[in-house]
């Protein structure tokens, strides 16, 4: 068998197959989420799974995790057929999964979270040796080269640190197969690099890794092979060395994407939103000033946790302002509540779709029209026909993959939920729209569509503020860019003067003082 090499380190990849599936299928009602999936995972490789929102990636790994059982098909581990009927079947084989949404207990310490993962639910030992637990947690974090105090409560950690805790928890059981569902969607560049180094070293020690991501570019730094899913079917598996960005997009979307950032030249109008010396309660936003003109996209770049989400929430009236002024069309406004902000015409697409946006048990339509209900009302009655028509139109524009408009939103794939949050606010006719990491977890095709819709809004004179940790997005879509670091803001930089280097220097606080 040929030995293939990948990356700078030129590490050999062992072609022995650890895990494989044949003809795996899974339906949810009328939705055929997976249709005859053949897949194999070698010992010591990083195998990426790529596909549009709703393609079936998470469903597939839930089957490997024993969370869902397949309707048909076979799974083989080290050459032997296995049945994965429960999570413990899968765990016993050494398969560990880190999900899109973390499974940590926020009120427990780092050490407790790391160690409790080793016990099956409901089978905690009567007494837990605390000293032993701390030693184990310390040891596994040490192996990862991480310095997170093990006594800290998980809720006080950054997202990147929480992820390290998830990985430590998985490693404690010495997994042979590690599966990660969109691990970098909440990480910045440095944290991502750090994670990659970690994953490469695990791979080199023989761990097999399945890696799901919508960030195609990063796969070239990390993966050995890529399997593309589309509508529950395998489109193909390619060696990363034989793939290009364009071929992967083509496989995923079924067509070429002409332009990632469809930027139009729109002449900016009058200043629409002006923020002067704004500080938020809690000191996460300090003396921030910026302005947004009609028809303009202003980006706020920063590392995660630089205060940008708090700024968005202050503008939306969800966090009280401690000082400063906000003017809309030159008139001072008071943002004492979200209702006041909404009435003034400010819309917010929140960062976290789970806590900030969606009502899981309500249907796609209801979630889409929630913020705009008064628009559909006449004489106290909701005009349901109009509501349905408009909601369907938005869902179609963003290609929200759903069984019906009344399907409960929690059954949609992660990226499709995010599209609903965005569509809701696009439909709400805000004068200023603030979007906090709107394209997190969204596939490339839908990203382009979202950028296009933002440009449409600009043409209608809306002012758009987009908060993003993704440098290419910021450079690709914004007219002006501000950078936040520890609650303070610098800028603006115009499209032409902003560079990757300049923005990063500001974001880490070594420029722009
Ligand atoms: N529990 C469920 N009940 C009903 N339908 C479901 C359920 N889980 C997934 N689906 C459907 O199965 C399809 C595949 O979803 P899945 O979550 O696997 O997609 P994905 O590739 O992970 O997408 P994303 O990139 O958005 O996370 C979607 O149409 C989704 O709505
Ligand atoms: Mg998913």
Identify the pLDDT of residue 143.
Answer: 79
CA-proximal residue: ligand 1, atom 19 (nearest): 54
Identify the pLDDT of residue 124.
Answer: 56
Residue with tokens 């610098």: 490
Which ligand 1 atom is the nearest neighbour of the CA of 68? Answer: 1
pLDDT digits (tens, 9 = 90+) for 410-467: 899 888 888 888 888 877 778 999 999 888 888 888 888 889 889 999 999 999 999 9
CA-proximal residue: ligand 1, atom 7 (nearest): 411
Residue with tokens 């209702």: 339
Assess whether the C-beta atom of 59 lies below 6 angstroms from ligand 1: yes
CA-proximal residue: ligand 1, atom 28 (nearest): 54
pLDDT digits (tens, 9 = 90+) for 190-211: 778 888 998 998 999 999 999 9
For 323, residues 6+ apart whose C-beta sits below 8 A from its C-beta are 277, 278, 279
Give the span between the Cα atoms of 201 and 7, in whole angstroms: 12
User: Could you state, in order of their start, the residue ranges of all structural domains in the chain?
Assistant: 1-94+175-256, 105-173, 259-345+430-513, 358-429
Return the CATH architecture of domain 1-94+175-256.
3-Layer(aba) Sandwich (3.40)
Lookup: tokens for 291: 């302005």
Give the span between the Cα atoms of 440 and 463, in whole angstroms: 21
Judged on CB neighbours under 10 Å (0-12, 13-18, 19+), 255 is: exposed
Strand, helix or coil at 352?
coil
Identify the pLDDT of residue 119.
Answer: 61
> Best substitution site from 33, 183, 422 to test ligand 1's pocket, by max atoms within 8 Å of Cβ?
33
Identify the pLDDT of residue 335.
Answer: 81
CA-proximal residue: ligand 1, atom 22 (nearest): 58
Q: Name the class of domain 259-345+430-513.
A: alpha beta
CA 351 to ligand 1 center in whole angstroms = 21
Torsion of CA 233, 236, 237, 242, to 10 degrees: -150
Look at residues 343, 275, 339 and name the one whose alpha carbon lies nearest to residue 311.
Answer: 275
Give the span between the Cα atoms of 75 and 276, in whole angstroms: 60
Identify the pLDDT of residue 355.
Answer: 57
Residues of the chain with pLDDT under 70: 1-14, 100, 117-128, 186, 257, 352-356, 371, 511-513
CA 50 to ligand 2 center in whole angstroms = 10
Identify the pLDDT of residue 461.
Answer: 92
Identify the pLDDT of residue 232.
Answer: 94
Give the span between the Cα atoms of 103 and 121, in whole angstroms: 12
**Identical fold at 1-94+175-256 and 259-345+430-513?**
yes
Assess whether the C-beta atom of 415 lies below 6 angstroms from ligand 1: yes
Identify the pLDDT of residue 7.
Answer: 45
Identify the pLDDT of residue 10.
Answer: 52
Assess whether the C-beta atom of 506 lies below 6 angstroms from ligand 1: no
Identify the pLDDT of residue 27.
Answer: 96
Residue 106: CB atoms within 10 Å? 12
């Amino acid at each position: 068998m040929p030995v293939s090499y990948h990356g700078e380190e030129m590490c050999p990849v062992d072609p022995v197959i650890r895990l494989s599936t044949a003809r795996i299928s899974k339906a949810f009602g009328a939705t055929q989420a997976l249709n005859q999936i053949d897949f194999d995972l070698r010992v010591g490789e990083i195998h990426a799974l790529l596909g549009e929102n709703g393609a079936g990636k998470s469903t597939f790994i839930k089957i490997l995790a024993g969370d869902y059982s397949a309707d048909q098909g076979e799974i083989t581990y080290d050459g032997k057929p296995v049945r994965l009927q429960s999570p413990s079947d899968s765990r016993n084989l050494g398969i560990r999964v880190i999900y899109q949404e973390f499974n940590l207990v926020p009120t427990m310490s780092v050490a407790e979270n790391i160690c409790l993962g080793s016990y099956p639910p409901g089978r905690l030992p009567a007494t837990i040796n605390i000293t032993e637990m701390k030693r184990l947690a310390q040891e596994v974090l040490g192996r990862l080269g991480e310095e997170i105090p093990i006594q800290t409560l998980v809720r006080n950690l950054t997202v990147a640190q929480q992820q390290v805790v998830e990985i430590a928890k998985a490693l404690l059981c010495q997994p042979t197969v590690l599966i990660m569902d969109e691990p970098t969607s909440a990480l910045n560049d440095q944290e991502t690099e750090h994670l990659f180094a970690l994953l490469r070293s695990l791979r080199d020690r023989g761990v097999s890794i399945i890696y799901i991501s919508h960030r195609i570019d990063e796969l070239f730094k990390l993966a050995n092979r890529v399997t593309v899913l589309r509508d529950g079917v395998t489109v193909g598996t390619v060696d990363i060395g034989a793939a290009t960005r364009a071929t992967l997009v083509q496989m995923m979307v079924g067509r070429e994407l002409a332009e990632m950032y469809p930027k139009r030249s729109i002449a900016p109008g009058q200043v629409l939103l002006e923020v002067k010396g704004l500080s938020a309660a809690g000191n996460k936003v300090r003396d921030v000033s910026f302005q947004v003109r009609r028809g303009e996209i202003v980006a706020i770049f920063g590392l995660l946790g630089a205060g940008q989400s708090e700024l968005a929430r202050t503008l939306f009236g969800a966090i009280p302002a401690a000082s400063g002024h906000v003017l809309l069309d030159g008139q001072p406004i008071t943002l004492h509540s979200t209702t006041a902000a909404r009435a003034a015409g400010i819309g917010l697409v929140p960062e976290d779709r789970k806590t900030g946006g969606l009502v899981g048990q309500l249907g796609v339509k209801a979630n889409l029209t929630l913020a705009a209900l008064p628009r559909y009302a006449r004489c106290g009655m909701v005009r349901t026909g109009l509501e349905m028509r408009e909601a369907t139109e938005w869902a179609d524009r963003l290609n929200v993959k759903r069984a019906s408009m009344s399907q409960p939103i929690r059954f949609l794939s992660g990226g499709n939920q995010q599209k609903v949050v965005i569509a809701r606010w696009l439909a709400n006719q805000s004068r200023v729209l603030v979007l906090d990491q709107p394209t997190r977890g969204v596939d490339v095709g839908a990203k382009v569509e979202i950028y296009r819709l933002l440009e449409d809004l600009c043409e209608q004179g809306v002012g758009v503020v987009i908060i993003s940790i993704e440098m290419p997005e910021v450079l690709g879509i914004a007219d002006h860019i501000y950078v936040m670091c520890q609650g303070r803001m610098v800028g603006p930089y115009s499209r032409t003067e902003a560079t990757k280097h300049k923005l990063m220097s500001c974001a880490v606080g070594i420029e722009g003082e």
